[in-house]
Amino acid sequence: MQKCIFCDVPKESIIAENELAFAIFDKYPVNPGHALIIPKRHFVSFFDATGEELLSLHRLVLEVKRTLDRQYDPDGYNVGVNVGECAGQVVWHVHLHVIPRFVGDSPRPGGLRRVKRPVVPFPRENE
The residue range of the domain holding 28 is 11-126
What pTM did the predictor assign? 0.89
With contact defined as beta carbons under 8 Å apart, do 45 and 21 qualify?
no
Nearest Cα to Cα of residue 65 among 76, 53, 54: 76
Write down the pLDDT at residue 46. 97
Write down the pLDDT at residue 20. 98
What CATH number is attached to the domain comprising 43? 3.30.428.10
With contact defined as beta carbons under 8 Å apart, do 38 and 3 qualify?
no
Tell me whether residue 103 is in a domain: yes
Write down the pLDDT at residue 127. 47
Question: Residues with catalytic annotation?
Answer: 95
Q: How many domains are there within the chain? A: 1
Tell me whether residue 25 is in a domain: yes
* Per-residue model confidence as pLDDT tens for the chain (127 residues): 568 999 999 999 999 999 999 999 999 999 999 999 999 999 999 999 999 999 999 999 999 999 999 999 999 999 999 999 999 999 999 999 999 999 998 877 766 666 666 677 767 655 4
